[in-house]
């Protein structure tokens, strides 16, 4: 469906994305994950035939984007970060206009617009002016315009931004339902969001692809071995140096790769320990033998949030998980 | 062709549903009527009907050019400002189709406004004679003037996201073109002829005002329109790939 090779884009002298390579199969829902400014929007805009890459090859359904952009646009639905709505039109007229613009034949027009209205739950506002709609509805009209011509490829840039929690759930369900008939690419900087809708994640950081796969495979990639893991512990000592003391003691346990102090209060400290395999009992003994109190010791659940942090900023310590 | 028709329909509806279209129409007709009353029919001495009509077209032509700039300023700048341009760019529509669709929509609206002004020359019929040919030639000149104004305005609109900047740039280009004949006496051949030919009004409009259609002048306005529409298309193309 989509093949991307060595995709690079410069804005002036600034490199927005750098040598991206990935493949996306038909019917997949793929999430692009990255911080603001990581290059998600640039990548999606290239795939959406809005801008040309500086170098690299993009093939969609076997057609080269540089040669057949016009042809590709017919099978493409695109929702930019701000939905492209004409405020003075009614929802219905607007969708009709978009459908015709995308080349839907007059025979199918009424049915396609009806389908889009129904899919996005817009029937009750179909006759309203777009300028009168709330943000949530505007976002839904934006989604409706991207699917009204039943495209095979759907590109959604931050589809849930600015929505309230109820609307986010609705939007998520909607996108999941679309996955069957369309290939869907979406982007977000909110992990929980995107991991629930997507079959696969592409993590982009500073213009580079840093991870590609399902949530589990990315988590393994981020932590090296599947056997190993991260332990979380809380210790209690007398002096200010107790945290450092614990860190050193744990660091001497064989099998421990690295121990970090995550947070320190007056007498208590939280640490994180990365080990090659399960070393809970040894770590516990080391803490107790160094004269400190062990308040808590558990395996840390690997959240996408922390994986993401590590992929994006490998050198920084992880923030405490709550 | 179909995308052009679609864009014309949408843009025309946008003029009719937004204040801008109505404001431009109202202001144009108001000033046109004022000028007609004061300068064309308001003079104390008796005048020939054809002189009155010719004065009417003098104002109408100038107003058409100005109205063209105002109608065109939103055409592309607004779409870039609100992001709706992304819809057109991600649809199977060519850049020239976007430009032509928008241009013809604005031109049709402008023609519509000027149709409403026809009562003025017809009033001359009460006490004088009006040649049909004079009206046809005059209105053709007005429409050509308006289409040039629209093309210039649209070019300016394609350069920026701000409608205010667009109207200022459009006005600057128009004024420079209007006054370019002033350069003729101070430049050498062949530039003097070029500058005097280039002027938007000087050499080309008076014949329409007098009621004669000269192919040269028609060609001048059409080529000015073409040049600016072509430039607009190129700007749009380059913006598409670079931003």
User: Can you tell me the distance from the alpha carbon of B73 to that of B151, in angstroms, rounded to the nearest whole number?
Assistant: 10
Domain with CATH 3.40.50.300 in chain A: 2-221
Identify the top-confidence range among A126-140, A269-283, B118-132. A126-140
Please give the share of chain B, as a percent, with pLDDT higher than 90.
67
Closest CA relative to residue B102, chosen from B184, B10, B22: B10
Which residue in chain B has the smallest CA separation from A41? B243
Report residue A317 as tokens.
């310590």
Give the distance from residue A211's alpha carbon to the nearest chain B alpha carbon, in angstroms: 27
User: Can you tell me the distance from the alpha carbon of B99 to that of B239, in angstroms, rounded to the nearest whole number?
Assistant: 14
Give the distance from residue B89's alpha carbon to the nearest chain A alpha carbon, in angstroms: 6
* Residue A62 predicted with pLDDT over 90: no
List Cβ neighbours of B157 (8 Å cut-off, separation of 6 or more): B72, B73, B74, B75, B76, B77, B163, B166, B170, B232
Residue pair B36/B56 in contact by the 8 Å Cβ criterion: yes
Least confident of A243-257, B20-34, B128-142, B171-185: A243-257
Q: Is the pLDDT higher at B130 or at A180? A: B130
What digits encode the pLDDT tens for the residues A158-199?
888 878 888 888 888 888 888 877 899 999 877 777 878 888
Pairing relation of β-strands A63-64 and A14-24?
unpaired
Report residue A114 as tokens.
């009806």
**pLDDT of B194:** 87
Out of B3, B87, B92, closest to residue A84 by CB = B87
Give the distance from residue B4's alpha carbon to the nearest chain A alpha carbon, in angstroms: 9
Residue pair B108/B8 in contact by the 8 Å Cβ criterion: yes
* Cis before B190? omega within 30: yes
Chain A partners within 8 Å of B91 (Cβ): 73, 98, 101-102
Judge: A88–B92 Cβ closer than 8 Å, yes or no: no
User: Can you tell me the distance from the alpha carbon of B167 to that of B179, in angstroms, rounded to the nearest whole number?
Assistant: 18
| Level-2 CATH architecture, domain A225-312 | 2-Layer Sandwich (3.30)
Closest CA relative to residue A271, chosen from A317, A302, A219: A317
Domain boundaries, chain B: 2-242
Closest CA relative to residue A153, chosen from A62, A67, A82: A62
Least confident of A91-105, A214-228, A293-307: A214-228
Beta bridge partners of A234: A270, A296
Q: What is the ipTM of this complex?
A: 0.89
Out of A51, A85, A88, closest to residue B18 by CB = A88
Judge: A100–B85 Cβ closer than 8 Å, yes or no: no
Question: Helix, strand, or coil here: A266?
Answer: coil
Q: Is the pLDDT higher at A221 or at B130? A: B130
Domain with CATH 3.30.70.100 in chain A: 225-312
Q: Name the CATH code of domain A2-221 (choices 3.40.50.300, 3.20.20.70, 3.50.50.60, 3.40.50.2300).
A: 3.40.50.300
User: Can you tell me the distance from the alpha carbon of A28 to that of A13, in angstroms, rounded to the nearest whole number?
Assistant: 34
Residue pair B109/B12 in contact by the 8 Å Cβ criterion: yes
User: Can you tell me the distance from the alpha carbon of A143 to that of B105, in angstroms, rounded to the nearest whole number?
Assistant: 28
């Amino acid at each position: 469906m989509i093949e991307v090779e060595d995709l690079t884009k410069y804005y002036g002298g600034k490199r927005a994305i750098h040598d991206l390579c990935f493949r996306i199969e038909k019917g997949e829902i793929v999430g692009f994950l990255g911080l603001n400014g990581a290059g998600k929007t640039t990548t999606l805009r290239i795939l959406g035939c809005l801008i040309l890459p500086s170098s690299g090859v993009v093939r969609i359904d076997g057609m080269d984007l540089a040669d057949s952009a016009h042809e590709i646009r017919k099978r493409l639905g695109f929702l930019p970060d701000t939905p492209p709505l004409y405020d003075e039109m009614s929802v219905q007229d607007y969708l009709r206009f978009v459908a015709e613009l995308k080349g839907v034949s007059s025979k199918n027009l009424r049915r396609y617009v009806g389908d889009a209205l129904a899919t996005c739950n817009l029937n009750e506002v179909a006759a309203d002016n777009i300028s009168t709609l709330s943000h949530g509805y505007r976002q839904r009209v934006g989604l409706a315009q991207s699917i009204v011509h039943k495209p095979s490829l759907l590109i959604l840039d931050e589809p849930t931004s600015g929505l309230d929690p109820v609307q986010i759930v609705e939007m998520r369900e909607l996108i999941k339902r679309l996955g069957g008939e369309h290939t869907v690419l979406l982007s977000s900087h909110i992990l929980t969001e995107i991991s629930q809708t997507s079959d696969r994640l592409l993590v982009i950081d500073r213009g580079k692809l840093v991870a590609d796969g399902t949530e589990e495979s990315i988590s393994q990639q981020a932590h090296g071995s599947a056997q190993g893991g991260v332990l979380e512990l809380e210790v209690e000592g007398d002096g200010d140096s107790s945290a450092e003391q614990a860190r050193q003691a744990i660091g001497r346990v064989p099998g421990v790769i690295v121990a970090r102090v995550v947070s320190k209060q007056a007498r208590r400290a939280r640490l994180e320990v990365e080990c090659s395999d399960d070393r809970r009992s040894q770590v516990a003994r080391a803490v107790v033998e160094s004269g400190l109190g062990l308040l808590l010791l558990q395996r840390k659940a690997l959240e996408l949030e922390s994986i993401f942090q590590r992929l994006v900023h490998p050198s920084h310590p992880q923030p405490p998980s709550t | 062709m179909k995308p052009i028709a679609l864009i014309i329909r949408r843009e025309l509806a946008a003029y009719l549903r937004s204040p801008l279209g109505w404001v431009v129409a109202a202001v144009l007709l108001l000033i046109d009527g004022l000028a007609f009353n004061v300068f064309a029919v308001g003079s104390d001495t008796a005048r020939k009907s054809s002189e009155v009509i010719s004065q009417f077209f003098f104002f109408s032509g100038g107003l058409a050019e100005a109205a063209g700039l105002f109608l065109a300023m939103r055409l592309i700048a607004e779409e870039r400002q609100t992001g709706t341009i992304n819809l057109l760019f991600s649809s199977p529509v060519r850049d020239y189709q976007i430009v032509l669709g928008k241009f013809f929509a604005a031109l049709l609206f402008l023609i519509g406004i000027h149709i409403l002004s026809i009562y003025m020359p017809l009033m001359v019929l009460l006490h004088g004679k009006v040649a049909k040919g004079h009206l046809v030639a005059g209105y053709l000149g007005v429409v050509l003037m308006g289409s040039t104004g629209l093309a210039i305005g649209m070019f300016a609109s394609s350069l920026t996201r701000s409608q205010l900047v667009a109207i200022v740039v459009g006005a600057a280009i128009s004024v420079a073109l209007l006054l370019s004949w002033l350069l003729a006496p101070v430049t050498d051949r062949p530039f003097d002829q070029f500058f005097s030919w280039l002027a938007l009004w000087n050499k080309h409009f008076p014949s329409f005002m007098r009621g004669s259609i000269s192919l040269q002048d028609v060609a001048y306005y059409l080529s000015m329109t073409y040049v600016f529409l072509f430039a607009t298309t190129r700007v749009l193309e380059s913006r598409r790939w670079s931003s």
